[in-house]
């Protein structure tokens, strides 16, 4: 039965509210900040920084510096021990364990009831509402959504009342029972922690289901979808799920994976919608298929600030509110949220695509870049260059990471790229040359350093197996729902380990 016509009026109201809030970012964000300060005024942080008398964004910024996670860590650990009214009102029983992509050490993000519902679930609802408004012919509620989730597995010994794990585990565990009727697989399978056992059960539980949408991280989804194809001896997912119509994707850039998905899905029958969410919150969504930027959710229980990149090395970086950003500039994102993270720099950098309404493009991570030789290479540069190199050479990749090779007496400094190919180029050297050329086209600083091979030698591409990436993720506790390979690093710690694992496969 198709329940979409019944759901449309509800989601139409949600979409209208989302767009109206975005049309007046300043008014909406000022109100959100007032609500958050009222919410947190009686916590330890609220009393320390006098939230009750901070009446303007300027007063709030004067009283409280921009913080990294390490500032919050001791307070969160007290909350994990059961202490009340620390960063959030009352006690918090759920926490998202972040993958810690940049720093390596896991972060624990409080998930109070308010944050789950006013931010994470509200953001998901806004994405569905926008999709239904864009596509009047959608039958989104005629079947089930295949949602890949994580688990509560973590390295902490806690009270049984405290649950820590992937954000997706809490989202699935606390989902509205009515919404749960339209989700697959069942919670028992969805929350399994052993992915080697979970994967075949995911395939078996969904291969005969009526799947109409997908939601998750593109890289990890491929393993499940290919498993379904193999189990059904099919070449296209539409042979198995004829009603499949949309993939809500996030976590990493989808661009390098687009051709891979087009090869197993009928492109004429499939739509894609990018969302920008993380353990810390649901931030933005793709407002229309042709949008370069993502619409910032102005009324999702998050107050946003933006730190200019020139301020990142400052001991006390200054931040500006959402209504003062400049189109085309790149900033580090700072949030204040009901999860208890007050003026928290989350580690992402975003480029402003438009200001009315505010639309952003994810540029990378504050710690994910290569600038050893003054080239200032960002993740967005790498993604674009990799995509064009694949298109030009007929290659496709499943994962990659890059790091500098430092100048020595015998080696000129350059970038090394460890790449797992799904379809290997016929000429690896041509692929490396194409990648290097596209990096020059994408980044003028890289191009300047490459000129004449004086400061920087050509990029080096080292093929590695996907298994090497998976084993590295497993060794860091990240294999599964929050499966993210750091794309760029200014040191060689990750790439050396992945190459070592590739050279020693057992």
Q: Please report, for the domain that includes residue 153, its CATH number.
A: 3.40.50
Q: What is the DSSP letter of 406?
A: P
Beta-strand pair 163-165/94-98: parallel
Residues 436 and 471 in one domain: yes
Q: What is the mean pLDDT of the segment spanning 428-446?
A: 93
Residue 205 has pLDDT above 90, yes or no: yes
**Per-residue model confidence (pLDDT) at position 105:** 64
Residues 351 and 379 in one domain: no
Residues 387 and 357 in one domain: no
Residues 234 and 381 in one domain: no
Query: Rounded to an integer, what distance in angstroms lies between the CA atom of residue 488 and that of residue 385?
Result: 13
Number of domains making up the chain: 2
Contact yes or no for 127/246 (Cβ under 8 A): no
**Per-residue model confidence (pLDDT) at position 138:** 98
Cis check for the bond before 455: say yes or no (omega within 30 of 0): no
Residue 102 has pLDDT above 50, yes or no: no
Residues 418 and 358 in one domain: no
Residue 245 has pLDDT above 50, yes or no: yes
Q: What is the mean pLDDT of the segment spanning 421-429?
A: 96
Q: What is the DSSP letter of 397?
A: E
> Average model confidence (pLDDT) for the chain?
91
Residues 244 and 221 in one domain: yes
Q: What is the mean pLDDT of the segment spanning 332-354?
A: 96
| Rounded (5°) CA angle 148-152-158 | 170
Confidence tier at 166 by pLDDT (50, 70, 90)? confident
pTM to 2 decimals?
Answer: 0.81
Query: Rounded to an integer, what distance in angstroms lies between the CA atom of residue 199 and that of residue 273?
Result: 24
**Per-residue model confidence (pLDDT) at position 189:** 93
Of the residues 365, 392, 407, the one at which a domain ends: 365
Q: What is the DSSP letter of 235?
A: S
Higher pLDDT, 257 or 329: 329
pLDDT tens column, 7-53:
999 999 999 999 999 999 999 999 999 999 999 999 999 999 999 99
Of the residues 319, 345, 365, the one at which a domain ends: 365
Beta-strand pair 246-249/271-278: parallel
Q: How many CA atoms lie within 13 A of 118 on its CB side?
A: 17
Confidence tier at 411 by pLDDT (50, 70, 90)? confident
Residue 407 has pLDDT above 80, yes or no: no
Residues 351 and 455 in one domain: no
Higher pLDDT, 476 or 311: 311
Residues 350 and 415 in one domain: no
Higher pLDDT, 386 or 218: 386
Contact yes or no for 238/265 (Cβ under 8 A): yes
Please measure the distance between the N-terminal and C-terminal CA atoms of the chain and give it in whole angstroms: 49
Range of the domain at 485: 369-503
Residues 268 and 152 in one domain: yes
- CA torsion, ordered 19, 23, 24, 26, to nearest 10 deg: 100
**Per-residue model confidence (pLDDT) at position 235:** 96
**Per-residue model confidence (pLDDT) at position 99:** 56
Mean pLDDT comparison of 252-256, 284-288, 467-471, highest-scoring range: 284-288
Confidence tier at 104 by pLDDT (50, 70, 90)? very low
Higher pLDDT, 456 or 155: 456
Residues 361 and 386 in one domain: no
Q: What is the mean pLDDT of the segment spanning 391-400?
A: 95
Of the residues 340, 365, 390, the one at which a domain ends: 365
**Per-residue model confidence (pLDDT) at position 21:** 98
The residues near 93 (Cβ < 8 Å, ≥ 6 apart) are 161, 162, 163
Residues 170 and 222 in one domain: yes
Query: Rounded to an integer, what distance in angstroms lies between the CA atom of residue 463 and that of residue 20?
Result: 48
pLDDT over 90, % of the chain: 73
Residues 88 and 198 in one domain: yes
User: Which has the minimum average pLDDT: 91-105, 204-218, 416-430, 460-474?
Assistant: 91-105
Q: What is the mean pLDDT of the segment spanning 172-192?
A: 93
Contact yes or no for 77/83 (Cβ under 8 A): no
Q: Compute φ and ψ for 202, nearest 5 degrees.
A: -60, -45
Question: For the chain, what percentages of helix, strand and coil (3-state, to nearest 5) are there?
Answer: 40, 20, 35
Residue 101 has pLDDT above 70, yes or no: no
Residue 201 has pLDDT above 80, yes or no: yes
Cβ of 493: how many Cβ atoms within 10 Å?
Answer: 12
Sign of CA dihedral 461, 463, 466, 470: negative
Higher pLDDT, 195 or 55: 55
């Amino acid at each position: 039965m198709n329940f979409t016509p019944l759901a449309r009026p509800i989601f139409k109201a949600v979409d209208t509210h989302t767009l109206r809030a975005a049309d007046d970012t300043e008014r909406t964000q000022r109100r959100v900040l007032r609500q958050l300060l009222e919410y947190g005024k009686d916590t330890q942080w609220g009393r320390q920084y006098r939230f009750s008398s901070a009446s303007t964004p300027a007063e709030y910024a004067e009283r409280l510096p921009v913080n990294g996670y390490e500032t919050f860590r001791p307070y969160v650990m007290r909350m994990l021990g059961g202490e009340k009214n620390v960063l959030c009102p009352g006690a918090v029983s759920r926490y998202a364990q972040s993958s810690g992509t940049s720093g390596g050490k896991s972060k624990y993000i409080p998930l109070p009831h308010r944050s789950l519902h006013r931010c994470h679930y509200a953001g998901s609802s806004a994405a569905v509402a926008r999709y239904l408004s864009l596509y009047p012919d959608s039958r989104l509620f005629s079947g089930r959504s295949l949602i890949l989730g994580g688990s509560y597995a973590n390295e902490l010994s806690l009270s049984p009342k405290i649950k820590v794990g992937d954000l997706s585990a809490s989202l699935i565990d606390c989902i509205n029972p009515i919404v749960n009727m339209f989700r697959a697989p069942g919670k028992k399978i969805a929350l399994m922690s052993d992915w080697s056992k979970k994967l075949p059960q995911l395939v078996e539980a969904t291969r005969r289901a009526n799947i109409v949408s997908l939601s998750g991280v593109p890289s990890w989804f491929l393993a499940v979808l290919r498993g379904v194809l193999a189990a059904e001896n099919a070449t296209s997912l539409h042979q198995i799920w004829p009603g499949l119509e949309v993939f809500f994707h996030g976590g990493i850039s989808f661009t390098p994976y687009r051709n891979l998905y087009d090869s197993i899905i009928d492109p004429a029958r499939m739509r894609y919608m990018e969302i920008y969410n993380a353990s810390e919150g649901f931030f933005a969504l793709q407002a229309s298929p042709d949008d370069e930027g993502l619409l910032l959710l102005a009324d999702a229980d998050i107050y946003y600030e933006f730190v200019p990149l020139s301020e990142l090395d400052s001991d006390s970086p200054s931040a500006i509110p959402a209504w003062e950003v400049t189109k085309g500039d790149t900033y580090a994102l700072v949030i204040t949220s009901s999860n208890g993270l007050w003026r928290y720099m989350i580690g992402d950098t975003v480029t402003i695509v438009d200001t009315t309404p505010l639309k952003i493009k994810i540029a990378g991570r504050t710690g994910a870049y290569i600038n050893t030789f003054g080239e200032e290479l960002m993740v967005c540069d790498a993604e674009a260059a990799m995509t064009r190199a694949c298109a030009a050479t007929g290659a496709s990749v499943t994962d990659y990471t890059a790091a500098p090779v430092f100048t020595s007496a015998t080696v000129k400094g350059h970038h090394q790229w460890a790449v797992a190919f799904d379809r290997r180029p016929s000429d690896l050297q041509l692929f490396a040359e194409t990648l290097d050329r596209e990096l020059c086209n994408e980044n003028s600083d890289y191009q300047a350093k490459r000129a004449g091979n004086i400061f920087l030698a050509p990029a080096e591409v080292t093929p590695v197996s996907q298994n090497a990436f998976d084993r590295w993720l497993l060794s860091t506790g990240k294999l599964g729902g929050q499966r993210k390979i750091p794309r760029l690093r200014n040191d060689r710690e990750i790439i050396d380990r992945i190459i070592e694992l590739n050279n020693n496969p057992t």
